[in-house]
Chain A
Amino acid sequence: MIGVIQFPGSCDERDALSAVERVGEGRLVWHEETDLTGLDGIIVPGGFSYGDYLRAGAIARFSPAMEAVKRFAAGGGPVLGICNGFQVLCEAALLPGALLPNEGLRFICRQVELVAEDFTGPFGSAIGAGDRLSIPVKHMSGRYFAPDEDLDRMEAEGRIAFRYAPGDNPNGSVGDIAGVVNEAGNVLGLMPHPEHAVDPLTGSDHGLALFRALASASQAAAA
């Protein structure tokens, strides 16, 4: 069972839940819940948690559910943060780096091409290095940034999960980085929205790969 956190101001939680339900079972997790017993994987979804006031994800990191997610991640449980969820995971220091306002200072909604890196952990072993995925981005603050020394270490440790294909970087992210994982590889954050790429009719179904990866990581963690 995969839990999708629902903050006030979340927008994509229902879409993430129905994406999960294409590959397994899931339920919404209210932001005040602190007991994640029975959940084998967690999605921190997109949207504007708590209005994204102060800074994207800055308030959500203090929510009761996020305290539980931190414990869940520390225990090795797989966590997928999408867009605002990625911002929340960075604010909560579960992932390195930060998401800055887009280079053009405007919201961008666009289908982009991602290239999967050879990255560590359960998500990395489920997604083939070099795979190209067509997935939409839609964000105001998606410009990934981390200090050079951190980036070097992440590169060396195989922690860059996805890059925008050459020429497809929509926001000015450093190194075209679209997604990263933590040291153990069980926490993955990315700006593009795989839950909006699960049906060719709405654009593509390339995002299913991530939900399958989450489902298999969840089964492995539960076993």
Chain B
Amino acid sequence: MSAGVSESPHRELGLTDSEYERITELLGRDPNGVELAMFSLLWSEHCAYKHSRKLLGRLPTQGERVVMGPGENAGAVDIGNGHAIAFKVESHNHPSAVEPFQGAATGVGGILRDVFAIGARPIAVLDSLRFGEPTSERSRYLFEGAVAGIGHYGNSIGVPTVGGEVYFEPPYEHNCLVNAMCVGLARTDAMIRSAATGPGNLLVIMGASTGRDGIGGASILASAELEAGDDSKRPSVQIGDPFEESKLLECCLELLQRGLLVSLQDLGAAGLTSSAGEMASKGGVGIDIDVRRVPLREEDMEPFEVMVSESQERMLAVIEPSRLDEVVATCERWQTGSAAIGEITDTGHLRVLDDGVQVGDVPVSALVDECPLYDLEPAEPGGWMYPNVETLGEQVALSAGRSADPADPSDILCALLGAPNIASKRWAFEQYDSVVGSRTARRPESADAAVLMIPESDRAIAVAIDGNGRRVACDPYVGAMEAALECAQNLACVGAEPLGLTNCLNFGNPEKPNVAWQLDRAVLGLADACLGLRVPVVGGNVSLYNETEHGPIYPTPVVGMVGELPDAAAVPGLAPNNGDRLMLVGPFAPSLAGSELAKQRGELDKGLAQVSVNVVNAALGLVRDLVRAGSVSAAHDVSDGGLACALAEMAIAAGTGIDVDLDALVELRGGSGETNLFGEGPGGIVLAAAEGAAKELLERAESAGVEAVEIGGVTGDRISIAAAERDVSVAVADAERAWRSLAERI
């Protein structure tokens, strides 16, 4: 990227002709090279949300417990006793597709900075990953690299990775998704915002020095489709250094604790330009930056390079001049860099100086607020717009043996348990430190949500992240709703009440009408789910242009949810006790539409069954109460692979068999035996309880008006499920072997 060599440099930088015209109008002149570079980044989709901002206004953001909402580095909710939980999810998709290890690592680094930028100590990371099928060598390479990168950064900095999810689907083959969520804990009175205030105050850059890495990341990588030969974009991917971030994190938290900072902001996409612009915009002030005062890795960097570099592990703070010595001394103690690079002004302009000589001068409002917003032109696709590939035969042979029958329910169960989307992800999560911090009461795959103890507030929190893009592709409105419901279900299973939600909207090119329709419908579905669940959205991120010449990804809204519970000790896991009764609670109405089985059969199509969020929410309230009261010994929501897979996962966790009869359910809900075994949909929770407690549980459900059916018990060493002549009988050991088979395929 060298400004000024082409006939129309603005196009090369990703700006349209009309956007360029608007810039000249706003400035009253042509921008110079430095200014053009700054505009091209801040007016990119990644920074300006120009195709999504209008839609995002639909999401409810208000709530009693909200301490910080969208617009800050991260959102936060009150958890009592003077403490708040900060959290946010963010994408690092295109960097990870180009270089998975560093792309994923710096994704974690970036989201950690967002959380400590508001004064919270990061206490957990979760991640949401999407790749093509593991039969593809490239997908295995990306998966392996991304998992190692996430582990490298999180493990090295001492923040546990406590949960996450991975899906493998063909539409992610050429455009993988790496979304990382960070959860932090803050004292409410020590939290800090990013608005720059007080003309005369100093702007201080802290952390790593600034280099040429990551130049143009936001505009080149994050705001355009990926193309063949994108390896040449590797220089746009930043390199992470968790050690540097570890020192910077401790240093920032100490500076905040000592009250030395006026405001704080991390340096992410578009580097200094974006961070300084945002800080000035929020504070209604101007900022002067002298690029010669920025500590550099290379001496001969151009002013525009300094302004847009995305070098990692840097923070920007506003401080009172009298505090400079203390700030510098604290940074030195933590062996991290610091330099006063500018000051707050009352001009309302972001001025760039090079050793005192002005090289750029733009009104902050033009840079931050005046980017044109575009209306989408949504058009519903006529049919299923993605490939359909039959893989069931192969999957059955892999999981249940060559002579297995793809029509036999027992063999189908093994095939689904061994399917990469459903199989145990132990291979991945064992590469993450899940215990550092001494808060992790439920480790990955031991319960539906991660549970972290917060003794500071005398309670615990639960965190989940979900988003099944395949179902969103079937019906963006219902599918997005289901992503939020799945999180709420996960939380209910550990007795947690949702407090807030963050989301990352991963979609294809919004300028294409079918993708615009997906985006429009999905945001509406998410908004309606939030309203029904009464959970506010406190922050998020949008990642568009996730598509290649092979087409768009599945529309993938990833939802992260945080809830609270009174006592981690009461949380049941997935494993029931021998002799327990098993109950299905909630309005679960199984359907094969959009299911893992439909995928394996190559029978995906448009459409999902409609959902009543209110009815599901009522069931979740009951589940939460029962879990908190200690009435259940295990809880697991029905998700991928349907009821049969949920029951099998509980049997595997317990190492004991189950004996279940779904005939009553078939009668109640209709549908075939197969649909009741493997059909999917929201609103189903399997609870296990001892005989006496089970009876009481059914009575409580009846008086609460929540559907609950006793379906069987925990006994023997086989998974036996009768479902209208379509009977399953699989030894628990065989089911477990299939479920643990993912590692062999990577």
CB-CB < 8 A to B375: which residues of A?
A: none
- Give, as a whole number of angstroms, the nearest-CB distance from A222 to chain B: 27
Q: Does B430 contact A (CB under 8 A)?
A: yes
Which residue in B148, B435, B568 is a CB contact (below 8 Å) of A196?
A: B435
- The answer to whether A107 and B151 touch across the interface, beta carbons within 8 angstroms, is yes
- The answer to whether A48 and B242 touch across the interface, beta carbons within 8 angstroms, is yes
- The answer to whether A51 and B156 touch across the interface, beta carbons within 8 angstroms, is yes
- Give, as a whole number of angstroms, the nearest-CB distance from A10 to chain B: 8
CB-CB < 8 A to A138: which residues of B?
A: 155, 433, 435-436
Could you mark each residue 429-448 of chain B with 1 if its beta carbon is under 8 Å from any beta carbon of chain A, else 0?
A: 11111111111110100000
- Give, as a whole number of angstroms, the nearest-CB distance from A86 to chain B: 16
Q: Does B569 contact A (CB under 8 A)?
A: yes
Q: How many A-B residue pairs have CB under 8 A?
A: 86
If the complex has contacts A8-B247, A11-B158, A107-B151, are A51 and B242 also in contact, measured as CB distance less than 8 A? yes
Could you mark each residue 125-143 of chain A with 1 if its beta carbon is under 8 Å from any beta carbon of chain B, else 0?
A: 0000000000010101000
Q: Does A37 contact B (CB under 8 A)?
A: no
- The answer to whether B242 and A193 touch across the interface, beta carbons within 8 angstroms, is no
Could you mark each residue 1-31 of chain A with 1 if its beta carbon is under 8 Å from any beta carbon of chain B, else 0?
A: 0000000111110110010000000000000
A196 to B247, CA, bound (A): 23
- The answer to whether B435 and A203 touch across the interface, beta carbons within 8 angstroms, is yes
- Give, as a whole number of angstroms, the nearest-CB distance from B745 to chain A: 16
Q: Does A109 contact B (CB under 8 A)?
A: yes
CB-CB < 8 A to B453: which residues of A?
A: 201-202
- Give, as a whole number of angstroms, the nearest-CB distance from B236 to chain A: 25
Please report which residues of chain A, range 28-72, place their CB below 8 angstroms from some CB of chain B when the two chains form the complex: 47-48, 50-53
If the complex has contacts A9-B156, A107-B151, are A202 and B243 also in contact, measured as CB distance less than 8 A? no
CB-CB < 8 A to A176: which residues of B?
A: none
Q: Does B386 contact A (CB under 8 A)?
A: no
A108 to B433, CA, bound (A): 8
If the complex has contacts A8-B334, A9-B243, A51-B242, are A107 and B155 also in contact, measured as CB distance less than 8 A? yes
Q: Does A199 contact B (CB under 8 A)?
A: yes
A96 to B569, CA, bound (A): 41
- Give, as a whole number of angstroms, the nearest-CB distance from A144 to chain B: 20
Q: Does B376 contact A (CB under 8 A)?
A: no
- Give, as a whole number of angstroms, the nearest-CB distance from A214 to chain B: 17
Q: Does B73 contact A (CB under 8 A)?
A: no
A5 to B335, CA, bound (A): 17
- Give, as a whole number of angstroms, the nearest-CB distance from A13 to chain B: 9
Which residue of chain A lies nearest to B152 when distances are taken between CB atoms in the complex? Answer: A107
- The answer to whether B156 and A196 touch across the interface, beta carbons within 8 angstroms, is no
CB-CB < 8 A to A48: which residues of B?
A: 155-156, 158, 242-243, 246
If the complex has contacts A15-B437, A195-B438, are A8 and B148 also in contact, measured as CB distance less than 8 A? no
Could you mark each residue 149-177 of chain B with 1 if its beta carbon is under 8 Å from any beta carbon of chain A, else 0?
A: 00110011110000000000000000000
CB-CB < 8 A to A14: which residues of B?
A: 437
Which residue of chain A lies nearest to B147 when distances are taken between CB atoms in the complex? Answer: A106
Q: Does B320 contact A (CB under 8 A)?
A: no
Please report which residues of chain A, range 79-119, place their CB below 8 angstroms from some CB of chain B when the two chains form the complex: 106-110
CB-CB < 8 A to B436: which residues of A?
A: 11-12, 15, 138, 196
CB-CB < 8 A to A140: which residues of B?
A: 155
**How many residues of A are in contact with the other chain, CB < 8 A?**
30
- The answer to whether A47 and B435 touch across the interface, beta carbons within 8 angstroms, is no
- The answer to whether B157 and A11 touch across the interface, beta carbons within 8 angstroms, is yes
CB-CB < 8 A to A198: which residues of B?
A: 438
A12 to B158, CA, bound (A): 7
Q: Which size class do B's interface residues fall under? A: 20 to 34
Q: Which of A10, A138, A195 has the most CB of B within 10 A?
A: A138
Q: Which of B246, B435, B437 has the most CB of A within 10 A?
A: B435
A52 to B242, CA, bound (A): 11
CB-CB < 8 A to A107: which residues of B?
A: 148, 151-152, 155, 431-433
CB-CB < 8 A to A203: which residues of B?
A: 435, 443
Q: Which of B158, B335, B437 has the most CB of A within 10 A?
A: B158
Main secondary structure of the interface of A (DSSP, over half): mixed
Could you mark each residue 235-254 of chain B with 1 if its beta carbon is under 8 Å from any beta carbon of chain A, else 0?
A: 00000011110110000000
If the complex has contacts A47-B158, A138-B155, A138-B433, are A202 and B440 also in contact, measured as CB distance less than 8 A? yes
- The answer to whether A196 and B438 touch across the interface, beta carbons within 8 angstroms, is yes
Which residue of chain A lies nearest to B251 when distances are taken between CB atoms in the complex? Answer: A8
CB-CB < 8 A to A50: which residues of B?
A: 243
If the complex has contacts A8-B334, A138-B436, are A109 and B246 also in contact, measured as CB distance less than 8 A? no
Which residue of chain B lies nearest to A111 when distances are taken between CB atoms in the complex? Answer: B443
If the complex has contacts A9-B246, A109-B430, are A51 and B241 also in contact, measured as CB distance less than 8 A? yes
- The answer to whether A202 and B438 touch across the interface, beta carbons within 8 angstroms, is yes
Please report which residues of chain B, range 231-278, place their CB below 8 angstroms from some CB of chain A when the two chains form the complex: 241-244, 246-247
Which residue of chain B lies nearest to A138 when distances are taken between CB atoms in the complex? Answer: B433
A131 to B630, CA, bound (A): 33
If the complex has contacts A107-B155, A108-B431, are A201 and B441 also in contact, measured as CB distance less than 8 A? yes
CB-CB < 8 A to A193: which residues of B?
A: 435
Which residue of chain A lies nearest to B453 when distances are taken between CB atoms in the complex? Answer: A201
- The answer to whether A136 and B430 touch across the interface, beta carbons within 8 angstroms, is no
Q: Which of A8, A110, A193, A199 has the most CB of B within 10 A?
A: A8
A108 to B443, CA, bound (A): 14
Please report which residues of chain B, range 123-163, place their CB below 8 angstroms from some CB of chain A when the two chains form the complex: 148, 151-152, 155-158
Which residue of chain B lies nearest to A200 when distances are taken between CB atoms in the complex? Answer: B569
CB-CB < 8 A to B335: which residues of A?
A: 8
Which residue of chain A lies nearest to B157 when distances are taken between CB atoms in the complex? Answer: A11
A47 to B437, CA, bound (A): 11
- The answer to whether A51 and B243 touch across the interface, beta carbons within 8 angstroms, is yes
- The answer to whether B243 and A199 touch across the interface, beta carbons within 8 angstroms, is no
- Give, as a whole number of angstroms, the nearest-CB distance from B434 to chain A: 6
- The answer to whether A53 and B435 touch across the interface, beta carbons within 8 angstroms, is no
A203 to B568, CA, bound (A): 12
Which residue of chain B lies nearest to A197 when distances are taken between CB atoms in the complex? Answer: B435
A203 to B435, CA, bound (A): 9
A4 to B709, CA, bound (A): 54
Which residue of chain B lies nearest to A15 when distances are taken between CB atoms in the complex? Answer: B438
Could you mark each residue 393-431 of chain B with 1 if its beta carbon is under 8 Å from any beta carbon of chain A, else 0?
A: 000000000000000000000000000000000000111
CB-CB < 8 A to B443: which residues of A?
A: 203
- Give, as a whole number of angstroms, the nearest-CB distance from B208 to chain A: 12
- The answer to whether A136 and B435 touch across the interface, beta carbons within 8 angstroms, is yes
A10 to B250, CA, bound (A): 11
Which residue of chain A lies nearest to B427 when distances are taken between CB atoms in the complex? Answer: A106
- Give, as a whole number of angstroms, the nearest-CB distance from B98 to chain A: 23
A108 to B151, CA, bound (A): 10
- The answer to whether B430 and A201 touch across the interface, beta carbons within 8 angstroms, is no
A107 to B334, CA, bound (A): 27
Please report which residues of chain A, range 169-223, place their CB below 8 angstroms from some CB of chain B when the two chains form the complex: 193, 195-196, 198-199, 201-203
Which residue of chain B lies nearest to A108 when distances are taken between CB atoms in the complex? Answer: B430
- The answer to whether A106 and B438 touch across the interface, beta carbons within 8 angstroms, is no
A155 to B152, CA, bound (A): 35
CB-CB < 8 A to A8: which residues of B?
A: 243, 246-247, 334-335
If the complex has contacts A8-B334, A51-B156, A196-B438, are A109 and B241 also in contact, measured as CB distance less than 8 A? no
- The answer to whether B438 and A199 touch across the interface, beta carbons within 8 angstroms, is yes
- Give, as a whole number of angstroms, the nearest-CB distance from B731 to chain A: 22
Could you mark each residue 646-686 of chain B with 1 if its beta carbon is under 8 Å from any beta carbon of chain A, else 0?
A: 00000000000000000000000000000000000000000
CB-CB < 8 A to B152: which residues of A?
A: 107
A18 to B436, CA, bound (A): 12
A-B contact pairs, 24 of them (CB 8 A): A8-B335, A9-B156, A9-B246, A11-B433, A15-B436, A15-B437, A15-B438, A47-B158, A48-B156, A48-B158, A51-B243, A51-B244, A106-B148, A106-B431, A107-B155, A109-B429, A109-B433, A109-B434, A138-B155, A138-B435, A198-B438, A201-B569, A202-B439, A203-B443
Q: A11-B157, A15-B436, A195-B438 are in contact. List 4 more A-B contacts (CB 8 A).
A: A9-B243, A107-B151, A109-B433, A196-B436
Residues of A within 8 A of B (CB): 8-12, 14-15, 18, 47-48, 50-53, 106-110, 136, 138, 140, 193, 195-196, 198-199, 201-203
Shortest Cβ-Cβ A-B pairs, 8 listed:
A11-B158, A51-B243, A196-B435, A138-B433, A48-B156, A15-B438, A107-B431, A201-B441
